[in-house]
């Protein structure tokens, strides 16, 4: 499913910050490409692994991405082994070596990177991952701020590195999703705050608008 999600010929949509079984099931029924579940305890969209069993029946219906911040390898591996997630999104300060260890075990990896300027983009090019997620730089917050990055710089980065799979995050909302796609040409868009009515609760009018923008 990750390969289809990252297919550059057809942009995809990932709705992140899922906390409710009903929201996850509805996203799958709508044929949204991917969902993200935040297992970082300090996130306002945190989901305890003990409450994540609703993800298991969604296997094969939607790409299930677990979001982790400086978690160490055992927690993500456990959730993979339990059949709750399909891919690991490293959203903290994880090293290249940590990411490579997952890849060596054939665990799909998305590495999120906080982008301040072109130097951050240049550094991103050599990070081992199946995909790079470009997000706004937010020290201590690790995403979910609703702030955008420099789309033109991101577009140039993608042109210069056509072999990389890039996911664009940071301030993606229904009103700017189509423009983001047209400007940056990422493999996928990722949004949390832009798809919800309150942290962790999805607004399906917004989700439908985002889906239309992708289509």
User: Looking at 16, 33, 130, 150, which residue is catalytic?
Assistant: 16
Catalytic (active site) residue 16: yes
Catalytic (active site) residue 104: no
DSSP one-letter string for 105-150: TT--EEEEEEE-SHHHHHHHTT--SSEEEEEE--TTT-S-S-----
Cα radius of gyration (the chain): 15
User: Looking at 86, 135, 150, 190, which residue is catalytic?
Assistant: 135
Per-residue tokens: 13 = 């949509």
Three-state DSSP at 102 gives helix
Three-state DSSP string of 7-34: CCCCCEEEEECCCCHHHHHHHHHCCCCE
Catalytic residues: 16, 135
């Amino acid at each position: 499913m990750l390969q289809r999600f990252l297919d550059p010929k057809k942009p995809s949509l990932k709705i992140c910050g899922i906390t409710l079984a009903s929201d996850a099931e509805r996203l799958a029924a709508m044929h949204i490409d991917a969902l993200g579940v935040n297992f970082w305890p300090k996130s306002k969209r945190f989901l305890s692994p003990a409450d994540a069993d609703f993800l298991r029946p969604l296997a094969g219906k939607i790409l299930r991405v677990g979001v982790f911040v400086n978690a160490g390898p055992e927690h993500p591996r456990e959730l993979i082994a339990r059949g709750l997630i399909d891919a690991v999104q490293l959203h903290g300060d994880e090293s290249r070596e940590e990411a490579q260890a997952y890849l060596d075990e054939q665990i799909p990896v998305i590495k999120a990177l906080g982008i301040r300027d072109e130097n951050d983009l240049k550094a991103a090019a050599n990070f081992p991952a199946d995909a790079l997620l470009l997000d706004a730089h937010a020290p201590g917050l690790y995403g979910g701020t609703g702030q955008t990055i420099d789309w033109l710089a991101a577009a140039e980065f993608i042109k210069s590195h056509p072999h990389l799979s890039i996911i664009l995050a940071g301030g993606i909302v229904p009103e700017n999703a189509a423009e983001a796609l047209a400007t940056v040409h990422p493999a996928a868009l990722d949004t949390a705050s832009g798809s919800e009515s309150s942290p962790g609760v999805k607004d399906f009018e917004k989700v439908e608008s985002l889906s239309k923008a992708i289509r």
